[in-house]
Structure 1
Amino acid sequence: MAAEIGPRPRDRTVIMCHGAFDIVHPGHLRHLMYAKEKADILIASITTDEYITKAEHRPFVPQELRAGSLAVLEMVDYVVIDPNPTPIQNIRRLQPDYFAKGYEYFANGVPPKTQEEMDTLAEYGGEMVFTPGDVVYSSSALIEASPPQLGLEKLVALLESEGLRFKDLRQVLKNLAGVRVHILGDTIVDSYSYCSLLGATAKSPTFSVKHDSTERFSGGGAIVAKHMRSAGASVTFSTVLGNDELRGFVEFDLAQCGIDCLPVIDATRPTTHKERFISDGYKLLQVDRVDNGVISDKVLERLAEQLESTPADLVVFSDFRHGIFNRQTIRTLKKAIPANAMKAADSQVSNRWGNILDFVDFDLLTPNEREARFALGDQDSMVRPLASELFRRAHCKHLILKLGERGLIAYRS
């Protein structure tokens, strides 16, 4: 860019604008048109996604799409995605004759950051110009009033940035067929007992309900195994079960799915069971039958033996904090993973203590935002710096920070 516009003094004047340009609106167009009238060449510089901190979920439009929205405008000659938190470095590098700011940066006093930009321009004789405020819009206000539906465009931009197409994603799923996956995790039997409300009892302020039906599902690490099996993988599942009725339910359910279940039976503890009582769509009560104590050395040894003796391309530690995993057992179990297997881990934090940073030097970690904040003791940071710090501390090759309906943030080494 610097070579194309040449050093000062130039035959043609250059003006530069900088901003997020999250949703390009008439105010932006007026700003850019005014700037172009002041010079021969207009450079539009945009802030990278990483440094937009106006709100938790911004930017709404990824940087590649924002740059493309400006590049198609006739008045814009060049678009720059600035990798720095402020435009100062690019001002020094490109040395535009003018730097254009909106009138709002001047009307109520010059902010410190704007003053820094003015001082940088003065270093080489550049000039700050303020565009009129006769057309006023706000990207933030527009997004809040009517959020655009850009999910598909964002996905396409992400794929293109990686040189991928949709058929490549389909091929990845097809390639899961036959992949040997060994999952080690806490099994939870989730029961939902549906009831009809009869009313309050006469002797105490207690609800009385009539039981209608109950549904049971294999949850915890077992549902992870079922998902991997439904994706086409060849799945082995190691877990700890009690010597009770629910043991038979879990073994039968997983066998029906084609999963090779290798339970270690511990008669001293029950199969973890969480039963919810529901009436008219409302959860009235949850009763847990669980022993969250640490597994015995004997059980740990048998689980390690299963890991070591079972060939696997991928080993997943599915930690629901019901006894299998803690800082000490993780070290033992990790050593038992076959040498060439990829290592992945997920640690759930709901009402139980757990820390994803106990799983150090794994190939993949997949915490959610709450689990990341818990691990780092950080309730205040924005999600990007939060994910970056977790990635640094975990020494993992890949990190996927799950954000629910907001999507995810992925890091890789």
Structure 2
Amino acid sequence: MVQIATSKKCVLVQGNFDVLHPGHIRLLSFAKACGDQLVVAVNTDSAMAVKSRVSEQHRLELVNSLECVDHAFLTGDTAEKIVEQLQPYAVVKGKEFECRENPELDALKVYGGKLIFGSGEFESNAEQYIKKNNRVASNLDFSEVQEYAKRHSILPSSIASTLNQVKQLNVLVIGEVIVDEYIQGTAVGMSQEDPTIVMTPNKTEKFLGGAAITAGHIKALGAKSVSLFSVIGNDDAGEYTKEKVLKYQVDAQLFVDSTRPTPLKTRYRASNKTLLRVNQVRQHKIAKELQRDILEKITDVITSIDLLVFSDFNYGVLPQPLVESIAALCHEHGINVVADSQTSSQVGDISRYHNMDLITPTERETRVALNNPDDGLVILANKLTNRASPKNLVITLGDEGIFIHVPDHKHNSWENDRLPALNRSAIDPAGAGDCFLAASALALSVNASPWEAFYLGSLAAACQVGSLGNTPLSLNVLEQAISESFK
């Protein structure tokens, strides 16, 4: 082992760091806060049980690129032996190791060292811990996506073939439609009567959101035909939805329910910042009679579709019996099924979508579904896959990118990877998840590898957040980004 001059409060972390993801960065930043010097032991290729896609030297370089790491070295030694040699003040491990056997504990007890378990805390932005001189200063940063493409053998020719095959797909999207209203204005100041921000509106724009924009993205990205099944109210927002969906060239099957308004979300913005959002929604489940009507209509067209997308905003359009009936119908006919279930101001449960080809929860949605605030990303992913049995899982991490969890059939296990957020100057995050789901689901439906599907999804999301408002992403824009990413 390399000789290291350590301080009195040296903290040691050991691991593979196969693909450096935000969960690693959070643990390492936590470890740094436990002492005044952080030393990281990176396992060599020969010491790993499963061969890594990333060479040991590159894994070492990535760990060394973190501002919180003072020193990192490669090792083939056990944790006990490293502790005996370094005698660190503390060893830090993930919370998931707390109930397991920890061999290094005996070596620590010899001299009074500590064993500390870090939780899955996720309030901080992991990107702040990456050394800034390693980042490319541009709106779309392709430095890491190029490495990702290399380790998964993704080629321009395979991407082109995938996009060409997508043109043969017939897709059905079901879920809540949402009308997003943006009221742009100038912040005048603070009211003298009460602590209220005062703004003067000068521009109002409306966009179609929810399941409707997911359908719009899928059509704009090249699908042959797209059908939208949803429920609207007898109101102006419902009429706007009908008009807009036609412009997206989406075949809409919109069921009217007079007991519930069409969801309308109004954002008041000044200087590219949202000051307030007002939601006009109701969250009661649609009536059983309406559920039967929707299921009958889907049954009539099921043999003509290749992909079904659940776009669930948890406002009551997709009660569990309806979800289970539709999913069973799709599995019976060999149709790909993907799902997204949002937990924001409302509460959802992504784990109720069983046996999907892909689910794409946020980290918060994953933790809410599992009632788990502690575990790291890898353990969270394992637990969610055990509960919901998806074929592929992507946990979206906002401006930290995505964490990928897919089957490794060769080793009868799951493989993890990550992609960063590619757009470093996002104007409006609305629609990033919709666009990611749309592009990824289309690629998976034409038998692209999961790695390629999520590569496309990440590029699509990066393009989407570059402008205000959630509007269908042009295939030309995505193709241009793909071309630039391979340069």
Q: TM-score range by the shorter chain?
A: 0.5 to 0.7
The 8 Å contact of residues 242 and 270 in structure 1, kept in 2 or not, is answered as yes
Tell me which residue corresponds to 1:312: 305
Contact 2:83 2:107 in 1 (8 A): no
Residue 305 (structure 1) shift:
1.9
Computing the radius of gyration from Cα coordinates, the structure with the larger value is 1
- 1:270 Cα shift? 1.2
Residues 139-168 of structure 1 deviation map (CA, whole Å, 9 limit, x = unaligned): x9x965546249756434433443332332
Corresponding position of 1:242: 233
Q: Distance in 2 between matches of 1:106 and 1:296?
A: 65
Q: Which residue of 1 aligns with 2:349?
A: 355
Counterpart secondary structure, 2:237: helix
Structure 2 partner of 1:148? 134
Whole-angstrom CA distance in 1 between matches of 2:189 and 2:155: 57
TM-score using structure 2 length: 0.58
SS of the residue aligned with 1:294? coil
SS in 1 for 2:154: coil
Provide the C-alpha distance between the structure 1 equivalents of 2:196 and 2:89, rounded to a whole number of angstroms: 62
Confirm whether residue 285 of structure 1 aligns to residue 276 of structure 2. Answer: yes
Per mean C-alpha deviation after superposition, the further-off stretch among 46-55 and 152-161 is 46-55
Which of 380, 384, 393 is matched with 2:378 structurally? 384
Query: Which runs of structure 1 show a deviation greater than 3 angstroms over 4 or more consecutive aligned residues?
Result: 50-55, 61-66, 68-71, 101-104, 106-118, 142-147, 149-163, 195-211, 279-285, 335-338
What amino acid maps onto 2:16 in structure 1? T
- The match for 1:6 is none
Listed one character per residue, the Cα deviations across residues 204-248 of structure 1 (whole Å, up to 9, x for unaligned) are 766665442210000011111111111101211111111222222
Matched, 1:105 2:89: no
- Alpha-carbon shift at residue 363 of structure 1 (Å): 1.5
TM superposition shift of 1:329: 3.0
In 1, the alpha carbon distance for the partners of 2:295 and 2:194 equals: 51
In the alignment, which residue of structure 1 is the partner of 2:170?
180
Deviation at 1:46, TM superposition (A): 7.4
Change (3 A) 1:285 1:49: same
Instruction: State which drifts further: 101-110 or 311-320.
Output: 101-110
**Residues in 2 aligned to 1:319 and 1:212: alpha-carbon distance in whole angstroms:** 33
**Cα distance in 1 for residues equivalent to 2:272 and 2:362:** 26
Hey, what does 1:127 align to over in structure 2?
none
Pair 231,81 (structure 1): closer, same or farther in 2 beyond 3 Å? farther
Q: Secondary structure at the match of 1:56?
A: helix
**Of 194-203 and 260-269, the range deviating more from structure 2:** 194-203
Gaps of 5+ in 2: 5-13, 29-39, 46-51, 61-73, 93-101, 109-125, 408-487
Distance 1:214 1:282 in 2: 15
| 1:105–1:179 distance in 2 versus 1, CA, 3 Å | same
Deviates more, 1:184-193 or 1:102-111: 102-111
Q: In the alignment, which residue of structure 2 is the partner of 1:343? A: 337
Residue aligned with 1:49, SS: coil
How far is 1:402 from its partner? 1.3
The CA deviation at 1:387 is: 1.2
Which residue in 2 is equivalent to 1:404? 398
* Residue type of the alignment partner of 1:190: D
Shift of 1:342: 0.4
How far residue 369 of structure 1 moved from its aligned partner, in angstroms, is 0.7
Provide the rounded CA distance (Å) in 2 between the counterparts of 1:346 and 1:367.
Answer: 6
Name the structure, 1 or 2, with higher relative contact order (CA <8 Å, separation 6+): 2
Q: Count residues in correspondence.
A: 331
CA apart distance, 1:105: 0.5
Provide the residue aligned with 2:37 in structure 1.
none
For residue 323 of structure 1, give the secondary structure of its aligned residue in structure 2: coil
In 2, Cα distance between equivalents of 1:161 and 1:201: 56
- Report % sequence identity: 24
The question of 1:300 aligning with 2:294 is answered no
Distance in 2 (CA, whole Å) between partners of 1:229 and 1:70 is 40
TM-score, normalization: structure 1?
0.68
How far 1:200 sits from its partner (Å)? 7.0
What displacement does 1:169 show? Answer: 2.5
1:190 aligned residue (170, 176, 180):
180
Q: In structure 1, what is the equivalent of residue 359 of structure 2?
A: 365
SS at match of 1:333: helix
Tell me the distance in 1 between the aligned counterparts of 2:189 and 2:213: 36
Q: Is the 8 A contact 2:18 2:59 kept in 1?
A: no
Task: Please tell me the residue identity of whatever aligns with 2:26.
Answer: E
Query: How well do the aligned residues superpose, as a CA RMSD in angstroms?
Result: 4.1
SS of corresponding position for 1:315: strand
Question: 1:117 and 1:155, CA in 2 relative to 1: closer, same or farther beyond 3 A?
Answer: farther
